Structure 1
């Protein structure tokens, strides 16, 4: 591995850390200083389930994805074991963000302290990032999947038994879901999603470029950080983005069903007062199908531009 390759790797590591750390800062702050927020967000899911079951049995079974649950359990168990090993390799190859201390002659006599300090600091940071990743992904999937199922079951009940009393109860449940969704957006999604979209896309562009540009030019243990990040990032995208899009789609579909079953003036006014339920991307609006396509398209487009430019 030549000096030019080593310098390129260090630049990549600098960009990698610059992009990946801001993604999960908000989640880390909430975990550290406001852990009650997650309880307040997740607890209403059980209450919604009780209220929907009280409407009657419609033969709608909540789907379970055992493979996904097993994947998350194994990944959460394995990540604390893999990360220290990877960090030690990066420090040994002098491509970690703190490699500058190795070159400074002032600190040569403290080298026996600096190297363990570099390893321990990086392990602490990466473990915090990993905890934020799993917390954010798990909470997002639970919230999105639960909201989608609530809308699906309410829509199915409305289609099968459109009597006035049950319709009023369903509208009440939808209003409560709307308030719950607004609370999530105001206290978490509004601040957390924009950095995830922007810096997450930048991280994937950076790792895609490194994966295609540097095979065989650096030690494999360092090289595989980039493709594994790309694979993991795209896997998270393919799990979370469709759920976020489906929530908006289910909300539009439910409101369409409800409008077709509102006959009195009161019901029509009540129906028009209901808003779509969806995740908000900060001040940029709600997460819809166009957002999903735009994110995937921009990652692919800018990856090709970077490959052609450098």
Structure 2
């Protein structure tokens, strides 16, 4: 059996993502509120026209920090839960595909039966996860994530001299955070489908005709992360996302 996969890169990426959402974002936002370049400065000052500026500062700080904290907590929860699901499934499939044992009849049949049982349990677990989480979470996450990256890249290029510097800093940082979903989540999710498809093909070839295991394997389907009613996450999804990002970002930069 091959050695287990190394998830150090994903672990460091997750830690960096959490650090990025906790420290730089909070410092930039509080500095924006302090210098009055946040989006709530004019509305709050219009409403609270009487009284010291400390009231306006406190209200803007509370509203913006509360909103940003809740938003970042939701994003971090999606990121951590999504990576946990896809990494767990891909690791199980990696172990199944890397099994190597002696070709004695009893051991081979016994291990293959246990492998198939484990794969069926994984299929049930992925079906439950798709139904209760991925079906509803992945489509909007993918759509808004890609849209946010496109707008963030456009703003990073075009808005450098047209908006306050502190407000401008949010664009590249937010784009970097949104890009982490595309760079880390989609390839790892695609490995689930590719690994399950490889396992079913390999196991189907190894089993003899007419055996019970052969019939069970033929009835099984590849497990994968589901994108709502739009299909499954496969390797070609990364190519589609990159094509959409480059095409629409270029169109925005050329048009505006």
* TM-score (structure 1 length as normaliser): 0.73
CA distance in 1, matches of 2:192, 2:207: 23
Mark the runs of 5 or more structure 1 residues left unpaired by the alignment. 1-57
Alignment of 1:239-278 (within 5 A): 239-265=184-210, 266-278=212-224
Is 1:62 the equivalent of 2:62? no
Q: Distance in 2 between matches of 1:214 and 1:203?
A: 15
Give the equivalent residue in structure 1 for 2:49.
108
**1:293 counterpart = 2:234:** no
Deviations 1:155-212, CA, capped at 9 Å, x for gaps:
2226765811111110000000000001111111111101111111111111111111
CA drift of 1:267 comes to 2.7
Match of 1:142 in 2: 84
Report the equivalent of 1:171. 116
Distance 2:20 2:179 in 1: 19
**Alignment of 1:309 onto 2:238:** no
How far apart are residue 77 of structure 1 and its match?
A: 5.0
Which residue in the other structure is 2:170 paired with? 225
Which residue does 1:283 correspond to in 2? 229
On the 8 A contact 2:153/2:175 being kept in 1, the answer is yes
CA distance in 2, matches of 1:220, 1:206: 17
Q: Does 1:85 align with 2:27?
A: yes
Within 5 Å, give how 1:188-203 maps onto structure 2: 188-203=133-148
Distance 2:235 2:12 in 1: 28
Match for 2:65 among 103, 123, 136?
123
Structure 2 spans left out of the alignment, 5+ residues: none
Give the whole-Å Cα distance in 2 for the aligned partners of 1:272 and 1:227: 48
Q: Which deviates the most, 241-250 or 150-159?
A: 150-159
RMSD: 2.3
- The answer to whether the Cα contact below 8 Å between 2:93 and 2:195 also exists between their aligned partners in 1 is yes
Residue correspondences, number: 251
Structure 1 position 96, deviation (Å): 3.5
2:17, 2:177 within 8 Å by CA — same for their partners in 1? Answer: no
User: What's the CA shift for 1:306?
Assistant: 1.2
Q: Is the CA contact 2:102–2:108 (under 8 Å) kept in the aligned structure 1?
A: no
Choose the corresponding residue for 1:238, options 156, 159, 183. 183
* TM-score normalised by the chain length of structure 2: 0.87
Residue pair 1:201, 1:299 contacting (<8 A) in 2 also: yes
